[in-house]
Every structure is written in structure tokens, then in C-alpha cells.
Amino acid sequence: DIQMTQSPSSLSASVGDRVTIRCRTSQSVNNFFNWYQQKPGKAPKLLIYAASSLQSGVPSQFSGGGSGTDFTLTISNLQPGDFATYYCQQTYSFPHTFGQGTKVEFK
């Protein structure tokens, strides 16, 4: 199975900050990589697919980068609605593993 290492597990930030979350896979997954946002009590929401493609309707302050084994999710100009938990996922091979999650909290 492909192992996912997501960091940090949590971070504190303020409105307007630029935030970067990282995810590393135990072997190359090419661009078979996605990012999701989850708010308490809600289902996850797709943000980024294929490593860097912004899902329709998602604000452009979200961006994804990387390929192979190292990926990033960047939130520029953090907004109040962005305080949530973020998960990465690889869909290169089964099982389609998720990262451990990064909770973005208000400083």
C-alpha cells in the first residue's frame, strides 16, 4: 500500500495569511493526487484534483502543486470559511489512501 505523510497535523493562522500544507507519498503517484476540505459534521469537499486542477466553484485562493511523491496545497489570503481540516489522497493504486489530515485553526 502507498503510505501518505501529511504535514503539519495542525496549524494556527490568521485571516489574510498564506498557508501551505504538504503531503508526501511512499512511492511515486505521478499526478494521481487530490485534496479535500472537511468542516465539522460535514462530508468532505473536493478542492483540487490531478494535483493542480481547481475543482469548479472552488475559490482561486486554493492551489495545488507537485508531482511524483511531493505535493502541496496552498491557501493564499486565508478567509474565515477556510478554517477546516484538509486531506490529501492518492488514487494511483488501491487502496486509495488518504493523508492524516491538517487542521487549520484560527490564531
Our finding on whether 25 is near another protein (CB under 8 A) is: no
Q: Which is nearer to another protein, 14 or 42 (CB)?
A: 42
Residue 97: C-alpha distances to residues 19, 26, 43, 44, 76 (Å): 23, 11, 17, 15, 26
Our finding on whether 95 is near another protein (CB under 8 A) is: yes
SS3 63: strand
Q: Rounded to an integer, what distance in angstroms lies between the CA atom of residue 72 and that of residue 23?
A: 6
Q: Which stretch binds another protein (CB under 8 A): 12-20, 63-71, 76-84, 85-93?
A: 85-93
Q: Contact residues for another protein (CB under 8 A)?
A: 1, 30-32, 34, 36, 38, 43-46, 49-50, 53, 55, 87, 89, 91, 94-101
